[in-house]
Amino acid sequence: MSRFDVRRAAALKRLARCRPFVTASLCRVRRRCGNPRCRCSRDQPHQAYVLTYKVHAKTKTVHVPKDLLMEVRRWVQEYRQVKKLIREISYQSLAILRHHVPASRAVARSRKLSRS
């Protein structure tokens, strides 16, 4: 096993241990609820959190309930780690290809080495 195989195997192991994630960004938004007697209609809009994500290049949003905010933060955070690991695994796969020595050439090389 090459050092690239070793690094890729390690990254794959870490990827398998990743926690739930979401490929979206968490954004704080300010909203007015529509009630004309609510304080938001004058000066203080309500604060809410949404996740924004893309589907076929279109940005979509989904409301994040307050009681799930901490959990959703972790999902967003975890995706950064997942993305990093995916990049690492892909990089090592490419390195394996670039450094590959065909079996026939490897045999020829080891014969030459043992003769000298």
Show Cβ contacts of residue 97 under 8 Å, excluding neighbours closer than 6 positions.
Answer: none
Measured CA to CA, the distance from residue 53 to residue 90 in angstroms comes to 23
Nearer to Zn ion, 40 or 96 (CB): 40
Query: Residue 29 in contact with residue 50, Cβ under 8 Å?
Result: yes
Q: How far is the CB of 41 from Zn ion (least distance, A)?
A: 6
Q: How far is the CB of 36 from Zn ion (least distance, A)?
A: 9
Nearer to Zn ion, 29 or 38 (CB): 38
Nearer to Zn ion, 40 or 82 (CB): 40
Query: Residue 51 in contact with residue 75, Cβ under 8 Å?
Result: no
Measured CA to CA, the distance from residue 111 to residue 49 in angstroms comes to 66
Q: How far is the CB of 90 from Zn ion (least distance, A)?
A: 47
Query: Residue 82 in contact with residue 15, Cβ under 8 Å?
Result: yes
Interface residues with Zn ion (CB under 5 A)?
Answer: 33, 38, 40
Q: How far is the CB of 35 from Zn ion (least distance, A)?
A: 5
Nearer to Zn ion, 13 or 66 (CB): 66
